[in-house]
Chains A and B, each alone.
Chain A
Amino acid sequence: MGGPSRGVILQLLLVLAVALFFAFVVANTKANLERAGLSAGYGFLWDTSAFDINQRLISYDSTNTYGRAFIVGGLNTVLVASMGVIAATIIGFLAGILRLSPNFLISRIVTVYVEFTRNVPLLLQIIFWWVILLALPRVRDSIQVGAFYLNNRGVRMPAPVFEQGSVVLLIGLVVGVVATILVARWARARQDATGHKFPVGWTGLGLVVGLPLVLFLITGRPIGLDLPEMGRFNLQGGFNITPELVALWLALSTYTGSFISEIVRGGILSVNKGQTEAAGALGLPSGLTLRKVILPQAMRAIVPPLTSQYLNLTKNSSLAVAIGYQDLVSIGDTILNQSGQALEVISIYMVTYLSLSLLTSTFMNWYNGRIALVER
């Protein structure tokens, strides 16, 4: 790089160019909007939306505002993205490990899965899963397991109805979770000090599930169940997961899962073979070797690229529009169509996805810092 003066001039020029560019764009936009007689601004968010949304995590109906519809859509995006991240991680780790399996058939099937999903556009895969789900039995011929019904309109299950006193159960659950974390810490400290193991898993299960269960019985069962029933057209009552959500979720998690499996495989292969042999020499069974020796070391290579896969998954959830899962983009499109506020709607898309990306990468960087610290 040249002397500081040259650097300064270069930077000033850059600032000037960027400023000019933005001035150019803003001036043009103004002129164009004026010419078309359009108004810019976010006031439309308080107008009545007048359309319905079939899946909502907060209450909403067609008399609410565009703004609230946006929030419903944003929450739906967050829902499918977080479900997808969890499932993709599980699928990815399983497939990555199974692909290295000594079982010829299994490793080949996993290879075929990985290659197919990685090399076909996601849009097609989303439609594929949706078509598969639509081929499930019709609502009148639902597959019934207890109070659970599976048909091509989704999975309908009993919904809990919280009555008075159910707060106690929530408190019990929180107490159970906190106690489990404390026990786990204590057990680890003890194992480090004495070498004795403590059955954290079972204790945790008892605390997290058992405690609320006992409270549930003591307080006189304050949670009722809303059971699905066949109505004239549909199953009524209970809680329904739509096939659109499931299709999108499956497509996103299998697609991203195949990328994650490659990362996991690469991570495992990057661990020195001597580690496996040493663990074998110590008499560790292969499952334990994988869990306690290989994966912790592989994680260091796995986590950074994992972050960008999570980001991709979140962004790819915007393809929901193809099958009518009402995420942010799908609802935003409808709003754009009704209100004509293109600039504003697209800016809302961008800001939302940017914030989601920022949140995810902040969290993953924190996690990455933690495992890196533990290792070194």
Chain B
Amino acid sequence: MKSAPRPFFRNRDQMIPGRPAPVTQVGVLGWLRTNLFSSWFNTLLTVAALVLLWRIVPPLLGWTVFNADFSGETGEECTAAGACWAWVDQRINQFLYGFYPPRAYWRVNVALLLLIPAVAYVLFDKLPYAKYGRWYSLSYPVIAAILLIGGFGIERVPTDQFGGFMLNLVAGLAGIALSLPIGILLALGRRAKLPVVRYASVIFIEVVRGVPLITLLFVAIIILELFLPPRVSLAQLVRVMVMITAFSSAYMSEVIRGGLQSIPSGQDEAAQAMGLSYWKKMRLVILPQALKISIPGIVNTFIGLFKDTTLVVTIGLFDILGQARLLQTNPDWIGKVDHETFLLAALFFFVICFSMSRYSINLERRLDTTRR
């Protein structure tokens, strides 16, 4: 019997102590090397990026913060060295609430607070009292409308006093909420076997998606009145809402159609085999699944719509941009706050849209894992 092959290692009495990795591979230096200076091209990019940052960040901070003026009664008291933020103190309420009467600001705040559980019950399954929660979510639009407009014993506030950031929120949220049912119907219509229903849906969706929102808003403000019977008049905001809803339901229907398409046909066939009618099949089997898949798309549609609500400024409504422009024409502030007002508005939008888009990405990931 041959002896076993000699192992290529030797026994040792003691272990060689572990050596630290080379300094160029670990720690700050290693991180820098792999992430920033791995090749000459990468180094070039890094240097270019650093120069860019150096050119942009310090002057921007200087203008917006360090050299800025934060107090004063009129634009006269602002120096030219930096931004003029003195107006924020006296005007922030108009930026947020528009012409809404200050004594009723609480109603807007309450409506906003009540929105949180209403949305939560739509998005999450495992909340306490989910059954009642759904009903609450469904009735929230009515509650919010009564809170904001008044009636039923609450002082009435005409819709032309809505303004500022609140107007953007109301237009965006109401647009999405109203467009959801219409979008579902349009999406079903587009997939229907009945040719008239199908073509009608397709024409509506494609026409509305094919024109800029700004032209639809012109329709709302300039010619919708012509379509109504003589001496019938709708409030500007109502007309604008009609067009925004039409606009977003076309987009919504496409998102939902995507959701419907991703449901395997086995579901459809199984539901038919059970003898369910069309509407029962949709309500109990297809739509719950399709809508769940569509949620990230719906959130993205909302972000888009929410940003687009700023277009109402072009037709003379006073959303947050309208308030900014209004302040720019105020004799006390003229010529001093042109950039500052817009910058603040941009910040508002960024904070809200950014957090929502993070949420939607997060949601997309979660939905993805459950399906695979």
Query: Taking beta carbons and an 8 Å cutoff, which residues of A are in contact with B?
Result: 1-2, 7, 10-11, 14-15, 18, 25, 28-29, 31-33, 35, 101-106, 109, 115-116, 118-124, 127-128, 131, 311, 315-316, 318-319, 321-322, 329, 336, 342-343, 346, 349-350, 353-354, 357-358
- A28 to B357 Cα, complex, angstroms: 43
A116 proximity list for chain B (CB < 8 A): 350
Contact between chains at A118 and B353 (CB < 8 Å)? yes
Contact between chains at B196 and A14 (CB < 8 Å)? yes
- A115 to B308 Cα, complex, angstroms: 17
B346 proximity list for chain A (CB < 8 A): 120-121, 124, 128
Closest chain B residue, CB of each to CB of A358? B210
B195 proximity list for chain A (CB < 8 A): 11
Contact between chains at A1 and B193 (CB < 8 Å)? yes
- A342 to B225 Cα, complex, angstroms: 12
Closest chain B residue, CB of each to CB of A122? B307
A15, A103, A127, A322, most chain B CB atoms within 10 A: A103
Closest chain A residue, CB of each to CB of B228? A28
Query: A28-B230, A315-B211, A353-B210 given as contacts; is B342 within 8 A of A124 (CB)?
Result: yes
Stretch from B34-42, B95-103, B112-120 forming part of the interface with A: B34-42
A118 proximity list for chain B (CB < 8 A): 353, 357
Cross-interface CB contact of A353 among B38, B194, B215, B226, cutoff 8 Å: B215
Chain B interface residue count, Cβ-Cβ cutoff 8 angstroms: 56
Stretch from B11-19, B49-57, B79-87, B147-155 forming part of the interface with A: B49-57
- A311 to B209 Cα, complex, angstroms: 9
Which residues, 163 to 202 on B, are CB-close (under 8 Å) to A? 192-197, 200
Query: Is the CB of B295 closer than 8 A to any CB of chain A?
Result: no
A350 proximity list for chain B (CB < 8 A): 207, 211, 215
Shortest A301–chain B CB gap in Å is: 14
Query: Is the CB of B278 closer than 8 A to any CB of chain A?
Result: yes
Contact between chains at B229 and A31 (CB < 8 Å)? yes
Shortest A310–chain B CB gap in Å is: 12
Can you offer 19 A-B residue contacts whose CB atoms are under 8 A? A1-B192, A2-B277, A7-B194, A32-B228, A102-B42, A103-B35, A106-B45, A119-B307, A119-B357, A120-B307, A121-B307, A123-B321, A124-B349, A131-B338, A315-B211, A343-B223, A343-B226, A354-B207, A357-B211
Shortest A367–chain B CB gap in Å is: 19
Contact between chains at B46 and A319 (CB < 8 Å)? no
Contact with A along B32-73 (1 / 0, CB 8 A): 001110100010011001101100000000000000000000
Contact between chains at B321 and A115 (CB < 8 Å)? no
Query: A1-B278, A121-B308, A123-B310 given as contacts; is B345 within 8 A of A354 (CB)?
Result: no
